[in-house]
Structure 1
């Protein structure tokens, strides 16, 4: 920290120290030594020679292979045809799209978006007759809807728990608590 005038100037030596280079042999001599220590055989061949064939043999591997014997093939297996798999996949997709379409809706089955809309609309229902009409509009039995609504609901905000704040970056934040809302039906 501080300005450069407060730091001591770093000075490098102008001469080589006496010990420099004493641990490593000279470059010229080391290259000749490594050439003499390496074998004179070539590292690669253009075609397979007897030396290459002998190097490629692995006697332990061959003995283990011969112990295993020939491969037993089960000819009673049914062949797998990728085309059949793809056709089945397309059939199941078409079937699910047909079941999900509004024109051919199956009773008591909804898409996730429709279920969310139904549960949100259910919160504003005032009477049993309105609940019956809402269930009919979505193609679901009232008993199934009430059974489902015991365990699943859409989030609602408790207005009394909203807290506004500002974080360190100056961005406004909102914090609130979710609550479970059931319709208040008149009997």
Structure 2
């Protein structure tokens, strides 16, 4: 606690050696690695260079191509400023809608759409469908239109197969199926259809 330090003094190495120095120069006890001799480019053309230059297929292909034709009537294509402005406006609108606490009618983020489609599978009546659509602020007919082409993943429980590999790792395979809700008609609709 006095003037002396409680830790031992740190000793620095006597010779300062850059950290990269060992990577390039071999240590005195080690023999340098023998590098294979790589042929260098020659200063003058030798016979091998001349043979390489006489590629008959290359020359035949060049003569088939013919001379280069330049179209001097081409015009510079400049992007339409109004179209670019429209792209920026669409992105800005999308960002405002995404950051808003209130949902936009008939627009959902991917996670909400997946939840909506998953809940739709367990519905039993049209009335429940209308309540679900109202809760997600989506028109019921729009929901049905989307559900014809898009669905959340479902698993066929009878198709699950578990296999254990030689290394002991378990692999599970299963089939995905399309599940639609079994909606029954409201009582008024059942009377008129029969």
TM-score by structure 1 length? Answer: 0.50
Which has the greater radius of gyration? 1
TM-score by structure 2 length? Answer: 0.48
